Amino acid sequence: MEELKKRILKDGHALSETVLKVDSFLNHQVDPELMYEMGTYFKNYFKNHGVTKIFTIESSGIAPTVMTAMQMNLPMVTLKKQGSKILKGDVYQTTVHSFTKSMDYELTLSKKYITEKDNILIIDDFLANGEAALGAARLVEEAGAKVAGIGIVIEKSFQPGRNILDDKGYDVYSLARVGKLGENLIEFLE
């Protein structure tokens, strides 16, 4: 997605070989027009995948996922990372490791928002090591549903996540594939 690549180059900040900061348009401040365009790209790619619901992990994936769900006229479900007093009992949970934050967290899905008949599109903001996407897919499959595909806003292609998801047979579609990061260096794969 050329508009996203331009925005990453203009407003993104490569802080190291692995950290890309895009908080001015994706996750702290959100550009709704760019999110809508992302939704259009995801909709066009996944429109023939038989998707019944769209899942994302709180919080940075919410904006592009809302726009995709709106355009596909489908329900959106947010997988929770934070503990909650009201999400007890009838839930699916899996442990996910965040390399960015160097910690584990429990990813949680209420059983009332998924059935065995569902074909789920998972959308996330970043793909690096694949842990978040794999955790979301584990929850979907534990419920007996299917993963229709995985949409990624920004993929760090130099990290192993894409290969891990490909090896598991998931259809992964990324809007921007970063091939190399370094201090003040951002290069994309074609």
Task: Write out the binding residues for xanthine.
Answer: 20, 27, 156
Helix, strand, coil content of the chain in percent (nearest 5): 35, 35, 35
DSSP string, 11-36: H-EE-SSS-EE-IIIIISS--HHHHH
Compute φ and ψ for 59, nearest 5 degrees: -130, -25
- The domains of the chain are located at 36-176
CATH architecture of residue range(s) 36-176: 3-Layer(aba) Sandwich (3.40)
Per-residue pLDDT tens digits for 154-176: 999 999 999 999 999 999 999 99
Task: Write out the binding residues for 5-phospho-alpha-D-ribose 1-diphosphate.
Answer: 128-132
Mean predicted lDDT score pLDDT of the chain? 94
pLDDT at residue 94 tops 80? yes
Percentage of the chain exceeding pLDDT 70: 97
Per-residue pLDDT tens digits for 50-75: 999 999 998 889 999 999 999 999 99
Please tell me the pTM assigned to this model: 0.94
Per-residue pLDDT tens digits for 107-130: 999 999 999 999 999 999 999 999
CA atoms of 3 and 5, how far apart (whole Å): 6
